[in-house]
Amino acid sequence: MAAVPNPKLLGFVPTEWRNPDSGEWLLTMAAGFKRKVKIKNLPDGSFELIDGSSNLAGIYEVKNHQLEATKPRNPRYKGLAWARQNDELVLVGEPPSEGTKYVGTRLRPANDIQNQAEKNTETRD
């Protein structure tokens, strides 16, 4: 039996992997909620997603051209996987659970959002 595609990932096409930059990112949950988070590049080559008490927070490593949760704040979410789609990271994998589903959540560098807002303001002037 073929796997049923996740409707939150329809139209998703991964692009070439690039490590995320340290700094502020805008997290947009699949349900539409938005908040700023931080990604920190660590000396050992791993990354920390800093997001308060969120289930998405924790330590991630690059595996198979994806950012995979290896030490999540909530151990139940070990294996969360983000893939690159242009300038965004898209949550494409999560462990099976009965709880909240996060697939389809997106991360975009906050400076991209700021730069776009400034361009839009300049265009209107």
DSSP string, the chain: -PPPPPGGGTT-------PPPSEEEEEE-TTS-EEEEEEEE-TTS-EEEE-TT-TT-EEEEEETTEEEEEEESSGGGTT-EEEEETTEEEEEE----SS---TT-EEEEHHHHHHHHHHHHHHH-
What distance in Å separates the CA atoms of residue 28 and residue 7, rounded to the nearest whole number? 16
**What are 49-108's pLDDT values in tens digits?**
999 878 899 999 999 999 999 999 999 999 999 999 999 999 999 998 777 889 999 999
Percentage of residues of the chain with pLDDT beyond 70:
85
Q: How many CB atoms lie within 10 A of CB 92?
A: 20
* Both tokens assigned to 8: 């939150």
Lowest average pLDDT, out of 4-18, 34-48, 67-81, 98-112, goes to 4-18
